[in-house]
Amino acid sequence: MSFLDSWQALSDTPWATAIHESDLVFPALESVHVLALMLMAGTIAVADLRLLGLVLPGVPAAEVERRVTPTTWFGFAVMAATGGLLFASEAGDLRRNPAFLVKVCLLAAAGLNVLAFQILARPALERTPAGAAAPPAARVIAALSLAIWACVIVAGRAVAYFTHKGG
């Protein structure tokens, strides 16, 4: 069985089928997933906009990033949990859905971008005096982050369009 074939096997399990066929569970999971994505993307957007110097000028960028990160991770945890269940219930169809595959790649890119921030930007950011502009590396990574998360939202919404077209 190939990796992609195993997706079909996953969606054929009794619990995944039950989620897929439920009139209540699937929409509820989908709603919580969207809200969690909004929570996570929203907090990331604020932190990124601060790194770019566009919001919260009175609070150091490193402090904003430190204070919002736990909320971002909470949003990510809820998004991943609900996303995992949604994926399992439709895995068989999603293996042929280009928007979903793009979304997975974008999520991986977002993860790499976080890693790049920790390695390349955080040390310099911690040394940046209050009120000063964030280091160039931090600003580039913040702009990339905003672009990637905007694309994640676009791809996530596009998944439904491709699914409805029988993708």
Site residues (CB under 8 A) for other proteins?
Answer: 27, 30-31, 34-35, 37-39, 41-46, 49, 54-59, 67-68, 70-71, 149-150, 153-154, 157-158, 161
Residue with smaller CB distance to other proteins, 14 or 164: 164
Q: How is residue 147 written in tokens?
A: 């672009």
3-class DSSP assignment, residue 87: helix
Q: How far is the CB of 80 from other proteins (least distance, A)?
A: 17
Q: Is 51 exposed, middle or buried (0-12, 13-18, 19+ CB in 10 A)?
A: buried
The closest alpha carbon to 51, from 41, 63, 39, 42, belongs to 63
Rounded CA-CA distance 6/154 in Å is: 27
Q: Which two tokens stand for residue 35?
A: 């809200």
User: Which one-letter DSSP state was computed for residue 118?
Assistant: I
Q: Are the beta carbons of 65 and 44 closer than 8 angstroms? A: no
Residue number with CB closer to other proteins (44 or 141)? 44
Q: How far is the CB of 27 from other proteins (least distance, A)?
A: 5
- State whether residue 135 is helix, strand or coil: coil
Q: How far is the CB of 77 from other proteins (least distance, A)?
A: 16
**Smallest separation (angstroms) from other proteins to the CB of 59:** 6
Query: Between 10 and 55, whose beta carbon lies closer to other proteins?
Result: 55
Report the C-alpha gap between 60 and 142 in whole angstroms. 15
Least spacing, CB of residue 99 vs other proteins, in Å:
11
- Residue 34 or residue 124: which is nearer to other proteins going by CB? 34
Residue with smaller CB distance to other proteins, 59 or 119: 59
